[in-house]
Structure 1
């Protein structure tokens, strides 16, 4: 109840003035507590505040507590996970911010608070990022990767501004220019060669016998994967996330529960793709419900040995992962003699052939899951070039030499 004053004489800590609480104060003689400005703190008396304080609430000026980047990144990723960001988006954010931490370590500022970085620091970091080699590849980071780092920084500092009130230094920092890769759809002959490559392994050559080829155990599944990608234009992650219950083989309707940006949509399978999926499921004993539509190579084994396995379904099988899908298509392309085979190239093939066969850009936008028509405009330009070539060959005025 009592505390020592600056002069060593005790006072009452319960009542501010003698006139108010002296009759109820147990201390005799009564000594009122001094003003808060003269009470001793842990380092002695606090100097009085300037100005009139009566009737006012004095709020302390917030001083940012310095915390290293890693602590802020952890909170940022937790907030984004709670907000429902896709796992792929979280992975991109984490990878982009790891580049920032490596750069700070190289600068001798590994424990720096991200609020200490200014616009000039971030511009310099993004400029030097162009010379950073890609992990395990020995070549500089791709323009798309550098843009992903910029997006991660933009989102991180927007979150940090909401948490601390610190203005974002990313305002006005230009985004790295991405490389516009030409759209190169597969031809009909290349797709047929990929389907043939599903049946047999690469030729085996030994010293004492002629080269031979063995049948592939996953031929039925791999053909179904190729035809579904070709017929729907799904992204790699969207295909791998499909379950058996998402596909209606009677109508060909496929429900994409969580596409890019968390948006769902409906796509459709033709007769050939439905037949291939039915054969693949029949080979597995007709699984139903939440079982993955396409399993990894080791889906029937112990999860600890299932390399490249994804999320287990209720039947205990593990879904194919996007990385495993990329490796599968790359190996099929090597056996078929088709260069640069990957899931997105099959997506380009679907979009281009859809327009060539009479589809419209608005429907294509919905099937691909794009937000704007600008994303599908490049496919329309390819088809327009096709029409121009066809007209050049079939022009009546030119054919009649008029």
Structure 2
């Protein structure tokens, strides 16, 4: 086997932070990283380099910049802290591998990842029922939004994955949709079964779509795929129209997962449908579903109908 030769980098480039960052981003893009993740990396670097005093790529000045940079997250959520932490940690690990750095400056100053418990917002069936009745089905945007709501509630697809769907991804014969590796958050493809009402709605949407644009299933009138911000705004409008509490795009995915478990679904099947790498998040859904069971039991246990006699015990000995 021919040995792989490491590309030699000039001493000047080794010390130039912006150039090395661009090289790292190119490497990540070549790996097939999702566009959204690349944007997160770019955002992290843009913010971090506001705290650097020079373009030198060296451990000592990087440590100083990191301490200042992460001070801005002291009052923010673990998620707000963890995303840039993971991005920078990955970058520094790559720099060590490529021999740009000898040590990881994040590890040197002792910063660690923060424990983050995922926040799952669940809405009851009445709220969701009012939401899906809000879009007007006589318009293309209304039919599109209604279709996306049903799709998410039927299979738990991630919003970002739904936005990337193209017409060939939907198999009307075998009643399933394919999430390709290119749009999957985990970069692992999976197939999701679809119910008949959802297929009928998607078929109707595709039949009236604007054919002069690309073949994205969910797109705006300008031909561009729907995105997270626009979908969030659309849901907010429907919630206001229906007179219900705010429902976020990811809430529909959470509702699918919790109701799937309540309706007797298997946790391992849910893990596959949701595209989770492990059971950690799935266990959270099971826990939330079971907490509702306890509440329902407290309210509805049949034994209350039968046990109405006094259980007061008379003392036999004084």
| TM-score w.r.t. length of structure 1 | 0.67
Going from structure 1 to structure 2, the CA distance change for 1:125 and 1:163 (only over 3 Å counts) comes to same
The answer for the alignment partner of 1:245 in structure 2 is 168
Distance 2:246 2:58 in 1: 40
1:113 maps to 2:113: no
Asked if the contact 2:73/2:80 (under 8 Å) is kept, the reply is no
RCO higher in structure (CA 8 A, sep ≥6): 2
The answer for the alignment partner of 1:176 in structure 2 is 114
Q: What is the 5 A alignment of 1:270-309?
A: 270-284=195-209, 291-299=215-223, 309=224
Distance 2:146 2:136 in 1: 9
Distance 2:253 2:31 in 1: 29
Say what the alpha-carbon RMSD is for the aligned residues: 2.7
User: Paired residue for 1:262, among 184, 187, 206?
Assistant: 187
1:124 Cα deviation from its structure 2 partner: 4.4
The answer for the alignment partner of 1:147 in structure 2 is 82
Distance 1:345 1:394 in 2: 27
SS at match of 2:32: coil
Q: Deviations over 1:208-245 (max 9, x none)?
A: xxxxxxx6442222211111111111111100111111
Unaligned ranges ≥5, structure 2: 1-8, 310-318
Asked if the contact 2:51/2:68 (under 8 Å) is kept, the reply is no
SS at match of 1:260: coil
1:190 Cα deviation from its structure 2 partner: 1.9
Q: Deviations over 1:187-210 (max 9, x none)?
A: 22222222232118xxxxxxxxxx
| Structure number, greater radius of gyration | 1
SS at match of 2:244: coil
Asked if the contact 2:16/2:57 (under 8 Å) is kept, the reply is yes
1:340 Cα deviation from its structure 2 partner: 2.6
User: Paired residue for 2:48, among 100, 117, 136?
Assistant: 100
Going from structure 1 to structure 2, the CA distance change for 1:220 and 1:63 (only over 3 Å counts) comes to closer
Which has the larger share of helix?
2
Q: What is the 5 A alignment of 1:3-402?
A: 65=12, 67-104=15-52, 109-117=53-61, 119=63, 121-130=65-74, 142-164=77-99, 165-171=101-107, 172-178=110-116, 180-181=118-119, 183-199=120-136, 216-258=139-181, 259-284=184-209, 291-299=215-223, 309=224, 319-401=225-307
Q: Deviations over 1:282-340 (max 9, x none)?
A: 212789xx7111221222xxxxxxxxx2xxxxxxxxx2233322222222222222333
Q: Deviations over 1:20-75 (max 9, x none)?
A: xxxxxxxxxxxxxxxxxxxxxxxxxxxxxxxxxxxxxxxxxx99546332222111
